[in-house]
Structure 1
Amino acid sequence: MTVIGYNLVRQSNSHHKDSYSPQTDELSYNIIGNNARFVLLVLIMDNNQVVVKEEGKVKVRFVTNDPNIRVTEIAFGVPERIGRLGLSELVNHLRSEEDTTQHKPFDFLINGQFIRTTLDKHIKKAGLKEEDTITIEYVEAVTEPKREQENQHDDWIASVDGGSLVGLALTGGYDFGARIVDCSANTLITAVGHQAAIKSVAWTKAAKRSHLAFLTASLDQTIRYWHADADAKTVQPMCIFKAHQGSVESVASNPDGTRFASGGYDNKLRLWDLQNLPQPQPQQQPNKKSRKNGAIASSTNILEPSIITESLSTLEKHSQPITTIDWPTQFQLISGGMDKSIRLWDLETMSDTQTMMASTALHVVSYSIDSGLIASGHADHTIRLWDPRIRDGKFNIGSLLSHKNWVTSISWKPGSSTQLLSASHDGTVKLWDTRSKVPLFTIEKHTDKVLSCDWLSNPTDSSNPYIISGGADTKLKIYNN
């Protein structure tokens, strides 16, 4: 006995039939009325005879928080074997969208978990009863970006920061330089001065194009602080911070840009002040364009950055190199490292208040202000989710598995408590929703390891930020719809 197809029968005054394909999980409706009754007919081949069997129904109610896509919340029956695409088509028809080109893809959740199988399987797995009315929440589905732009760098891109408010990306890499790139992939400014690769970059002020400030941390054991004007296309190194005794792997600014933290291969987490810094001093430099007659060359004033050798505080709890830092609130700092620990620091007492241990080394931690969760990326290809508010010690509340190599970068979507980006040595960037075990989509545009990813503000549509990523193929990618 073999199932060869389905028919979805709309029983109403017009006795209209619509088709359903199990291969594509697609429904085709022409008319849906309030009094319509749907029955799924299963077509079965038995001894070369087609046998029609009526399939069961589940009573559901559709709800959404988005008034622009809201449909009736009256409960009605749907085929129990319907899946995500079939539900999406149903909602589109309930929205009276007769023009199929205007149909939107939707995602569906039951009790906060995405439906990724047929409805009956999801209900069974969730321990629900098919006899009850099932409330299904629906949201507009997130689709992979259609547009891609790129900015060519001279070497690997190790770090990107899209946290400016004016649509400017900050990058740093193995060409020893940092760049400011606009959302059209144009390089506006290049900052040079480090004697080795830049491992981490961070904006400290990025609300106005004409008043920008940022940090770069390097394999040369220093951090540099810069001022820039994107309109005038000028940049000035303001200060060099020297205290680490190894590569500085991560740097992060506090929310108001008055302090920053750095960590690296000396296992030390250092805090620095960005207020009341000594000003750069003019230094006489001979002008390279001397006269042909051999006269003494003229000189120009070049501002030399001041040098700071003592940090505000040094926090020494990590037993191996610190690879990642996040400073999400004024009074709490998060660090992670090769010792497999995630540490939460109270900056009033300068003590680590919580330690969460992973099974493998960490490459990145990212804190969500909206959900209170921490996401971490690891060498075992895993993204782990942590809830530091749990008091029984079982902080690890879940894992996201899809990457095929080291997870190098994670960034929560601004304003979202569930969506985050990840990048990996497998060459991909993935968008996740923590309510699903599979990624919403995977971007496979890089040709080598991806080392960093982030969200970049969209000056024309704040609700639709760009995605940016960079890595070993030396290209900064900018994606949007």
Structure 2
Amino acid sequence: MQNSTECQLQIRFITKQEIYAVPDVPLSVPQAIDTSSLNALINQLLKESNFDYLKPIEFDFLAIGELLRVPLINHLQERNVSTETTIDIEYLERTPAPEPKNSLLHDDWICGIETLDKWILTGCYDNSINIWTTHGKLIKSSKEHKNMVKSVTWIDKSDASKGFISVSHDLTALVWSFQPGTDNVTPKAVLRGHERGIDSVGVSPNALRIATGGWDTNLKLWTTSLEEEANEPAHKKSRNNNSVITKTPISTLKGHKETVSDINWIDNYVVSTISMDHTIKFWDAELCGIKNEIVGQKAYLSSSWSPLSNALLASSADRHIRLYDPRSTEGSLCKTTFTSHTLWVSSVMWSTYDEHLFLSGGYDSAVKMWDTRSPKAPLYNLQGHEGQVLKVDWSNRKYMVSGGSDNSVHIFKNKHI
């Protein structure tokens, strides 16, 4: 057996985290060095540089643009990189594992979740919308819908007092008011116009437009304003002594052939939709036409847009998560494929603060935290669900939240913040 010290590689450590910088001189290391040995080496170099710390720091290592998950020589061979050159190894403090916090028990399946500040909004198959605190206290539960609630979203992502929207298979969307600090949750408007159940909803970044999509294959656009119709008595009807106005869509955009599974606003003027018809479409919300289209191989189930990376994540009915760059002019628009789930991936969501991190949830009961620089393996598997995971959410950077067919919402504390 050949001694590993006989086969050496030249590496150079680099980092963007200047607090951990060591001299960037070439070093000779065994070809088969792994992350554990690299961690020991970099901590030794920090110690020699008189770095002041109480315990060794855990680092991750980037080589040729991807996180090191196998011995270095294997990593290089997989990418056909010569071992004759000096390899730059970028090191960064390892993202710590999320910490399990609360579990919120519901009466039925949960398929809509969105957090804002300390509030968690959920939508359920028992027709209910629910508001919880991140500490696990139920503030309000309401069953104004007449069928399952498929998706929920806050209107203004920085202000819970602006209210929220729920969409249902009862063919309607409801616009709700909410007074934080109280249990005052009241429907203010009903959106009517879909001919079949509504599955998805999104609000523009400026909180002025709503987009909904569902089983009638249509994308419909609405205003969030409650003023324009409020003075027209014909639009009002009484519900629980509250004045609820009926709103109609300002536009109906046709083009999909199957249900619209998910909606993302790219900016205030462009909407992205994914569908069971194997397509992703980008719509001009002003001109009401299709700007761009991506055709996939399977039905799309979930998507998430990141303004940090200008990339769209989409999951399909094939266990895979794909990262698309819609602006790409070089080769395929699909830049990376992430594979770890064993069944369909029902939900994906980007981190709001790091362009590389995202969450996924699947029918295999798994919730996974990913770094886009490690497509073959997630950073962490978040345990807890005993049924299909139907929705993951990371709207509040401090908390990762998931819900599913086990009637529970699990909250994980992000220790990276």
TM-score (norm 1): 0.80
2:320 paired residue number: 382
Specify the SS of the correspondent of 1:394: coil
- Alignment match of 1:329 (pick from 261, 264, 267): 267
Contact 1:345-1:353 within 8 A present in 2 as well: yes
Specify the SS of the correspondent of 1:120: helix
- Alignment match of 1:438 (pick from 352, 371, 377): 377
1:401 paired residue number: 339
1:11 paired residue number: none
For 1:161 and 1:146, locate their aligned partners in 2 and report how far apart those are by CA, in whole Å.
Answer: 19
2:99 paired residue number: 146
Whichever residue aligns with residue 399 of structure 2, its letter is Y
Is 2:71 the counterpart of 1:118? yes
Whichever residue aligns with residue 451 of structure 1, its letter is L
Specify the SS of the correspondent of 1:339: coil
2:43 paired residue number: 92
1:455 paired residue number: 394
Whichever residue aligns with residue 239 of structure 1, its letter is A
Contact 2:351-2:395 within 8 A present in 1 as well: no
- Alignment match of 2:57 (pick from 92, 101, 104): 104
Whichever residue aligns with residue 409 of structure 1, its letter is S
**1:361-380 superposed matches below 5 A:** 361-380=299-318
CA displacement 1:396-443 (0-9 Å, x = unmatched): 222111111111111011122221111101001111112112111111
For 2:386 and 2:19, locate their aligned partners in 1 and report how far apart those are by CA, in whole Å.
Answer: 39
| Larger of the two Rg values belongs to structure | 1
| Structure 1: runs of 5+ lacking an equivalent | 4-40, 43-53, 286-300, 459-464
Is 2:111 the counterpart of 1:158? yes
CA displacement 1:297-344 (0-9 Å, x = unmatched): xxxx82131112x21100000011111111131111000111100001
For 2:367 and 2:82, locate their aligned partners in 1 and report how far apart those are by CA, in whole Å.
Answer: 38
**1:14-163 superposed matches below 5 A:** 41-42=3-4, 54-96=5-47, 102-162=55-115
2:221 paired residue number: 271
The aligned length equals: 407
Contact 2:344-2:364 within 8 A present in 1 as well: yes
Q: Relative to structure 1, is the Cα distance of residues 169 and 70 closer, same or farther in structure 2, using a 3 angstrom cutoff?
A: farther
Is 2:119 the counterpart of 1:168? yes
Specify the SS of the correspondent of 1:216: strand
Specify the SS of the correspondent of 2:258: coil
Q: Relative to structure 1, is the Cα distance of residues 406 and 284 closer, same or farther in structure 2, using a 3 angstrom cutoff?
A: closer
Contact 1:69-1:95 within 8 A present in 2 as well: yes
CA displacement 1:68-90 (0-9 Å, x = unmatched): 33223222212211101111122
**1:289-300 superposed matches below 5 A:** none
Q: Relative to structure 1, is the Cα distance of residues 122 and 347 closer, same or farther in structure 2, using a 3 angstrom cutoff?
A: same
Specify the SS of the correspondent of 1:305: strand
Specify the SS of the correspondent of 2:155: strand
Is 2:296 the counterpart of 1:353? no
TM-score (norm 2): 0.92
Specify the SS of the correspondent of 1:127: coil
For 1:198 and 1:106, locate their aligned partners in 2 and report how far apart those are by CA, in whole Å.
Answer: 42
Q: Relative to structure 1, is the Cα distance of residues 345 and 98 closer, same or farther in structure 2, using a 3 angstrom cutoff?
A: closer
Specify the SS of the correspondent of 1:271: strand
2:178 paired residue number: 228
For 1:224 and 1:103, locate their aligned partners in 2 and report how far apart those are by CA, in whole Å.
Answer: 52
For 2:78 and 2:406, locate their aligned partners in 1 and report how far apart those are by CA, in whole Å.
Answer: 42
Whichever residue aligns with residue 140 of structure 1, its letter is E
For 1:227 and 1:420, locate their aligned partners in 2 and report how far apart those are by CA, in whole Å.
Answer: 30
Contact 1:260-1:271 within 8 A present in 2 as well: yes
CA displacement 1:354-384 (0-9 Å, x = unmatched): 1101100011111111112111111111111
The structure with more strand, counted as a fraction of residues? 1
Contact 2:237-2:244 within 8 A present in 1 as well: no
- Alignment match of 1:259 (pick from 209, 221, 224): 209
Q: Relative to structure 1, is the Cα distance of residues 393 and 352 closer, same or farther in structure 2, using a 3 angstrom cutoff?
A: farther
Q: How much is the aligned-residue C-alpha RMSD, in angstroms? A: 2.2
For 2:44 and 2:390, locate their aligned partners in 1 and report how far apart those are by CA, in whole Å.
Answer: 43
For 1:70 and 1:179, locate their aligned partners in 2 and report how far apart those are by CA, in whole Å.
Answer: 48
CA displacement 1:112-167 (0-9 Å, x = unmatched): 111121112222333333232211111112232233211111111111112x2x23
User: Matched residues, percent identical?
Assistant: 30
Contact 2:271-2:285 within 8 A present in 1 as well: yes
Contact 1:177-1:194 within 8 A present in 2 as well: yes
Whichever residue aligns with residue 268 of structure 1, its letter is N
Q: Relative to structure 1, is the Cα distance of residues 304 and 204 closer, same or farther in structure 2, using a 3 angstrom cutoff?
A: same
For 2:330 and 2:65, locate their aligned partners in 1 and report how far apart those are by CA, in whole Å.
Answer: 23
Shift of 1:241: 0.6
| Structure 2: runs of 5+ lacking an equivalent | none
